[in-house]
Amino acid sequence: MKNQSKNIFRRDFLKGLGAIPLLGFFTFKFRDVIAVEAKKKHKDYLRLLGIESLEAPKVRLLPSTGTGTNRIRIGLIGNGWRGDQLLQSFGFIHPNQVKENTVNGKYNEWLTTFLAQEDLNVEFAGVCDTFTLHANRGLEISMNDVRPGGGRGTTKPVKIYPTYREMIESKEIDAVVIATPDHWHAPIAIAAAKAGKHVFLEKPMTHSIEEAIELRNTIKSTGVVFQLGHENRQQMSFRIARELIQKGVLGTVSMIQTFTNRNGPYGAWIRKRKYDDQGNPDNINWKEFLGNTPWHEFDPKRYFNWHRFSEYGTGFTGNDFSHQYDCINQVMRVGIPESVVAMGGQYYYKNCGDMPDVLNAIFSYPKKGLTLTYDGTLKNGIYRENYIMGSEAAMYLDLGIKIFQDDYSERYKDNGMDSSEPLYLYTGGTEVDAVSSATARAYIKGGYGSTYIDGKVIDASFLHIKEWIDAIRNQTKTSCNIDEGFDEAVTFNLANLAYVNNKKVLWDPLAEKVTMV
Amino acid sequence: MKNDNIAQSYSNWQIFSLTFLRVLIGWHFLYEGFVKLFSSPSWSAESYLAGSVGPFAPVFKDIASDPAWLIVVNYLNIWGLILIGFSLFIGLFARPFKLFGIVLLSLYYLAYPPFAALVILTPVEGSYWIVNKNLIEMAALFVLFLFPTSGITGIDRYFQKKS
């Protein structure tokens, strides 16, 4: 009896220590595991890179400049799909967008975010478009009072100008936004600058090198505030990348690779939009669209898919490489290459224009000791970041940044890191959702959608336009000014010349002349 | 029925499963705490707090930007995790420490709440909407709070009055 109760007591007593063996195992083993874990989990990226701190992420949003009565009157030239997007960045949307984003009388997340956008204090004062429906849509947009700042009760119908000529001559317009097909970019921007209007010009800057030279000279001589529409200038990851490269984290950069990968007609700029079916010679000013290009009978394909016709568009390089190039140029200050070769062809989308589907271009910079390449295909949609390859490390750059040390790096050889693990990681504060199309996802991931600044996720196009508006008011500089635009326009146009002529193209920076060999 | 009395009526399997859950959560807390304690360079909640999203983000961001507060928060977090983990593991003073655990987890939850509009802005593994692992661990701790085992399979057993 006594023994039994002793046993029960012992069993009972031991019950309370049930978890102790496990704790023993934990204590015995955790130090080995933790050494690996702690190192992996809390890497001090900046110390690994040999950098004390980074300045770029400390940048704060600039305060509004539009608080007083200094309202800027904007004229929009070209209210197609991009014009529409730009108006949104200015704070103007179509009443239908309000309807579509209102559920049970309440604004949804998208509309609420839009209304919280800073009121830039601009007036949508003029619009013109060769397509009447687009111009009328501008009028409908101007009448919508649901906008950031509550519209301040100043809604008035936008004036529709027959062409850009009347608009730039008007005393009721202070600045113009140009979102036309590429062949009209330079002629309109030059005329507007000469008329003293500030210019926001969509990318790519010009259709030819000659136009780029003339536009640059005009902007410089007139002194108007110019911004080229590469909104990725506002991308935080590019700013951080620039600082990291300036501080030497990659060592000597010998090669930069850029890419476009798209698959399907939409990605190949064969697009059918809402109003395209309604376009006809009665509501499209066909002659005005053609401008100085060779005469053709009215052709909706040419009008709505102008990107694919070299008379109007700038092809692969102007449409997409210009983005990648502007990313690299702001990060690395590569400038214009000394020579360019390009090859490719139109193999798949043969019934619309002369734009190639596959293109490879090599941009050579012997004085800088590096080569920049561009590989584009419209028949494969795999995603690739821009790669910047240095003697010490390689950088994968888009909305985020990944840096991998080189196995043969002198600088990083003692830091104990595996070259398959990133030495530095910046995620950009935004993740791409799974709903958007592949082309849209690549666009967002590429850094052209939103950026992360001052603890907030903000649309890059809005910031880019704000920068232009603030620069007009404060006479400050824009980030994608005429010199930056000149680099972009000359570089991609060199590739187009090389492709079309199937020759190596040389650039003489002093004479600003092209020779082909 | 009072919680203490519930424990009297557990079956052996119930005791085992509740104890197992208690030890698992204890293990998790203890390990998280030790990883932070032993990491080099020393761990800081700065980037976690600075990147926080949602309605409470301003509070967390303020803490991240104040060095004095950061020291306090880092210290409380690391030792909070370790002590809660240790308590659950061996069943010592488990009742109050379960509540501390719920408070700590709720702070993690509020710093990165898995609400639909914020999800795409936050780079985290997995997909969560309202319910995430923090919330589930909080719920598990609450169950353990209502169905205690430390009085049977923990050191708390030796501090209880004999009935």
What does the pLDDT read at residue A39?
59
CB–CB contact A22 B89 (8 Å):
yes
Which of B12, B65, B120, B124 is most worth mutating to test chain A (most A CB atoms within 10 A of its CB)?
B120
Sign of CA dihedral A108, A114, A117, A120: negative
Q: Does B24 touch chain A (CB under 8 A)?
A: no
Residue identified by tokens 């069993």 is A11
Write the class of the CATH domain A233-291+315-455+482-516: alpha beta
| Contact list, A41 vs chain B (CB under 8 Å) | 35, 39
In angstroms, what separates the C-alpha of A73 from chain B's closest C-alpha? 35
Q: Minimal Cα–Cα distance from A103 to chain B, Å?
A: 16
Q: To probe the interface with A, which of B24, B34, B74 has the most A CB atoms within 10 Å? A: B34
Interface contact B26, partner A, CB < 8 A = yes
Of the listed ranges A298-307, A382-391, B52-61, the least confidently predicted one is: B52-61
Cα end-to-end distance, chain A, whole Å = 109
The pTM for the full model equals 0.76
Give the chain A residue whose CA is nearest to the CA of B44: A42
Chain A residues in contact with B27 (beta carbon < 8 A): 22, 26
Report the distance separating Cα A206 and Cα A342, nearest Å.
19
DSSP of A375-434 = EEESB------EEEEESSEEEEESSSEEEEE-TT-STTTTS---TTS-SEEE-TT----S
Pairwise CA distance, residues A348 & A265, whole Å: 10
Taking only the tens place, the pLDDT of each residue in A254-264 is 999 999 999 98
pLDDT at A371 over 50: yes
* Count of Cβ atoms closer than 10 Å to residue A157 Cβ: 11
Gyration radius from chain A CA atoms: 28
What tens digit of pLDDT does each residue of B84-105 get? Answer: 999 999 999 999 999 999 999 9
Q: State whether residue B153 sits within 8 Å of chain A by CB.
A: yes
d(CA B65, nearest CA chain A) in Å: 12
* Contact across the interface for B157 and A16, Cβ inside 8 Å: yes
pLDDT at A3 over 80: no
Residue of A nearest to B125 (CA): A431
Q: Which helix (H) or strand (E) holds A277?
A: none
What residue spans define the domains of chain B? Answer: 3-159
Rounded to 5°, the CA angle A284-A286-A292 comes to 150
pLDDT higher at A456 or A92? A92
Q: Is B17 on the interface with A (CB under 8 A)?
A: no
Residues of B in contact with A23 (CB under 8 A): 89-90
Q: Which of A122-126, A231-235, A413-417, B35-39 has the lowest mean pLDDT?
A: A413-417
Nearest-CA distance B140 → chain A (Å): 18
Distance from CA of A31 to the nearest CA of B (A): 9
The encoded tokens of residue B120 equal: 């795409």
Chain A with chain B: Cβ pairs closer than 8 A: 77
A434 pLDDT band, cuts 50/70/90, is very low
> Which residues of chain A make contact with B61, given a CB cutoff of 8 A?
455
User: Dihedral angle at the C-alpha atoms of A331, A336, A337, A341, nearest 10 degrees?
Assistant: 110
Is residue A296 helix, strand or coil? Answer: coil
Q: Scan for tokens 């030239």, then name that residue.
A: A77
Question: Could B120 and A19 be called an inter-chain contact, meaning their C-beta atoms sit closer than 8 Å?
Answer: no
Please list every residue in chain B whose beta carbon sits closer than 8 Å to the beta carbon of residue A17: 155
pLDDT of A390 over the 90 cut: yes
Superfamily (CATH H level) for A67-232: NAD(P)-binding Rossmann-like Domain (3.40.50.720)
- Ranges for all domains in chain A classified under CATH 3.30.360.10: 233-291+315-455+482-516
Q: Would the CB atoms of B89 and A37 count as touching at under 8 Å?
A: no
Q: Which residues contact A442 (CB under 8 A, 6 or more apart)?
A: A261, A262, A381, A383
* Under 8 Å between Cβ of A260 and A439: no
DSSP reduced 3-state for A286: helix
pLDDT for position A432: 39
HEC assignment per residue over A424-493 = EEECCCCCCCCCCCHHHHHHHHHHHCEEEECCEEEEHHHHHHHHHHHHHHHCCCCCCCHHHHHHHHHHHH
Q: Residue A103's CB: how many other CB atoms inside 10 A?
A: 9
**What is the secondary structure of A184-198 as a DSSP string?**
GHHHHHHHHHHTT-E
Any bridge partners for residue A178, and if so which? A77, A201
d(CA A94, CA A105): 17
Using CB atoms, which residue from B22, B27, B35 is nearest to A37?
B35
Q: Where in the sequence of chain A do the CATH 3.40.50.720 domains occur?
A: 67-232
| Residues facing residue B121 across a β-bridge | none
Question: B154, A20: Cβ pair inside 8 Å?
Answer: no
Q: pLDDT over 90 for what percent of chain B?
A: 48
Distance from CA of B66 to the nearest CA of A (A): 15
Structure-model confidence comparison of residues A61 and A33, the more confident one: A61
Q: Do A41 and B35 touch (CB under 8 A)?
A: yes
The answer to whether residues A464 and A229 touch, using CB atoms and an 8 Å cutoff, is: yes
User: What is the pLDDT of chain A when averaged over all its residues?
Assistant: 89
> Looking at this predicted complex, what is its ipTM?
0.77
In this prediction, residue A433 has a pLDDT band, given cuts at 50, 70 and 90, of: very low
CB contact under 8 A, A42 and B43: yes
**CA B1, CA A435: separation in Å to the nearest integer?**
50
CA angle A305, A461, A483 (to 5 degrees): 85
Low-confidence winner among A99-103, B20-24, B65-69 (lowest mean pLDDT): B65-69
Q: Which residues of B touch A47 (CB under 8 A)?
A: 41
Mean pLDDT, residues B50-79 taken together: 84
**pLDDT (0 to 100) of residue B3:** 55
Residue A443 has pLDDT above 80, yes or no: no
Helices (H) and strands (E) in chain B, counts: 9, 0
Using an 8 Å Cβ cutoff, are A198 and A472 in contact? Answer: yes
The answer to whether the CB atoms of A19 and B26 lie below 8 A apart is yes
Q: How far apart are CA A223 and CA A216, in angstroms?
A: 11
Q: Is B59 on the interface with A (CB under 8 A)?
A: no
Record: contact B153-A109, CB cut-off 8 A: no
Residue A446 has pLDDT above 70, yes or no: no
Of A15, A23, A455, the CB nearest to B90: A23
Which residues from chain B sit within 8 angstroms of residue A429, using beta carbons? 51, 121, 123
The answer to whether the Cβ–Cβ distance between A16 and B158 falls below 8 Å is: yes
